[in-house]
Amino acid sequence: MRVTGRASNAVWRSIQSAYRISIRSMPDGPPKNSYRRRRRETSRKRIGRMDGQCSGAPRASRWETREMMRRVAMAALLVAMACPLAARDASAQDASDRDASAPELQEEPNLAVGRLNYAGYRDKRQCTMFAIGPRTVLTAAHCLRRLKPSQLHLLFGYSQMKWAAHLTPKAATPLGGDVAVLCLSEPAPAALPFDVTTEIAEGETLYAIGYGRPVRHMQSRTACPVVGPVNRRDWTMAGGGGALTLRCTQAPGASGGPVVTADGTVVGVVSATSATDLYVALIPREAVSMCEGGLGEAPRRAPERRAALHRGLSPHDP
């Protein structure tokens, strides 16, 4: 027998109505394994556990909840009141530590000290240099790696995009101990006094001059007490020459700068720095005679003889 479309639809509707009537007539309702019923029960269990309590655990009363929130708020208030006091004490201590060796920006730069600049296609460097004679300039040897003297720009007395002289060295010679000599074809505008008889005592305050970041466009001067000689085998920058350890730090860009005494006599070259100390390469005796003219007419003030820390601290020792 062939059943038409309307007849099949009528048969299907009658089957559905009979199923609904049979379900309603059951005393216990729909079967327990009904998909919709299991889904409703699962949702109820999840909602019951959203407050963070275990299933079946007694719920906290409204008064207990408010009391707990009040105690948490009081504890947070006490912590917030105590933190500014501790932070103020710590910041005051840090400020005092910083002021002990904070660099002083020089409005009037020393004309014997300047910036050593190099800018290439893939490399750009900035260091500090200084003159000890009309044609004799010193800097850190690591500032000249893989560079020719004709690529260097020496800006004496540089300060805020202005300088007293812009010169280019004609020769560069490393002396060991991270000290290099640059010879000029023209005289520098000024020179720092240098005396081979200068001796340094432990605890004496020296001054580091340079152009370190973040203030790279102004000359800075930092007071640094002498801690002692460098006695670190892993520090190879001062290999072959004497070196000093000062209790201060310098920023990148200050390498090659002079370290002077209170009367302005230069004793060393800034070579490296750590988190707390500054390492200074002492100027060897042969630096005076490397360039034509030597010290020339540069002012040389003989300082008072000081008690040396030990023989290795004297710049004129070989």
> Is it the case that residue 300 has pLDDT exceeding 50?
no
The pair of structure tokens assigned to 183 is: 């010879």
Is 96 within the bounds of a domain?
no
Residues 268 and 215 in one domain: yes
Residues 244 and 161 in one domain: no
Percent with pLDDT over 90 in the chain: 37
The residue-averaged pLDDT of 269-288 equals 90
Is 163 within the bounds of a domain?
yes
Residues with Cβ < 8 Å from 139, sequence gap 6 or more? 116, 127, 128, 129, 130, 180, 182, 255, 256, 269
| Structural domain boundaries enclosing 298 | 205-313
Q: Which burial class, exposed, middle or buried, applies to 219 when counting CB atoms under 10 A from its CB (0-12, 13-18, 19+)?
A: buried
Residues 126 and 209 in one domain: no
Where a domain ends, among 138, 154, 184?
A: 184
Residues 211 and 308 in one domain: yes
- Grouping H, G, I as helix, E, B as strand and the rest as coil, residue 24 is helix
When divided into structural domains, the chain yields a total of 2
Residues 259 and 210 in one domain: yes
| Beta carbons of 150 and 135 less than 8 angstroms apart | no
Of 305 and 24, the structure prediction assigns the larger pLDDT to 24
Is 164 within the bounds of a domain?
yes
Give the Cα separation of 64 and 148 in Å (integer). Answer: 80
pLDDT per residue as tens digits for the range 90-128: 554 554 444 456 788 999 999 999 999 998 777 788 999
Give the best-scoring range by mean pLDDT among 154-163, 285-294, 307-316.
154-163
Residues 171 and 218 in one domain: no
What per-residue confidence (pLDDT) applies to 32?
54
Residues 285 and 215 in one domain: yes
Is 41 within the bounds of a domain?
no
Is 298 within the bounds of a domain?
yes
Q: What is the CATH number of the domain that holds 163?
A: 2.40.10.10
Residues 302 and 229 in one domain: yes
| Beta carbons of 315 and 282 less than 8 angstroms apart | yes
Where a domain ends, among 184, 217, 247?
A: 184
Is 306 within the bounds of a domain?
yes
pLDDT per residue as tens digits for the range 29-50: 555 556 666 666 666 555 444 4
Residues 214 and 119 in one domain: no
Give the Cα separation of 129 and 79 in Å (integer). Answer: 51
Residues 168 and 218 in one domain: no
What per-residue confidence (pLDDT) applies to 174?
92
| Beta carbons of 158 and 109 less than 8 angstroms apart | yes
Residues 247 and 291 in one domain: yes
Q: Which amino acid is at 202?
A: E
Q: How many CA atoms lie within 13 A of 181 on its CB side?
A: 22
Residues 146 and 213 in one domain: no
Is 155 within the bounds of a domain?
yes
Is 159 within the bounds of a domain?
yes
